[in-house]
Amino acid sequence: MSSQISNNNNNNYTIVSAFQNLYISRKLNNMDQAQVMKRKREDWLRLYHKMLKGLEMMIDIQRMVKDIKN
């Protein structure tokens, strides 16, 4: 009886699927795609803000020139 108990206690099986889980693969691919899209959005936002700062600086210079003329 003790051998049966010890056999039951030692049955720790690791189940490994031979098939790839398509849901998880799709989820990981979507996560990768989301990260790429996020980086692209951040790059565009940086460029947008840089352009806005440049425009604001040009407007300020035009105002200064206008004030000097008057």
Structure tokens at 5: 């108990």
Is 11 inside any structural domain? no
15-58: pLDDT as tens digits: 555 666 676 677 777 888 888 999 999 999 999 999 999 999 99
**The dihedral sign for the CA sequence 37, 38, 39, 45:** positive
Quick check: is 70 in a domain?
Answer: yes
Q: Is the pTM of this model over 0.95?
A: no
- Tell me whether residue 17 is in a domain: no
Answer whether residue 2 is part of any domain. no
Is 6 a residue whose pLDDT tops 50? no
| Residue 60 pLDDT level (bands cut at 50, 70, 90) | very high
Range of the domain at 64: 22-70
Q: Is residue 46 part of a domain?
A: yes
Structure tokens, 62: 């035009």
Q: How many domains does the chain have?
A: 1
Domain-located, residue 51: yes
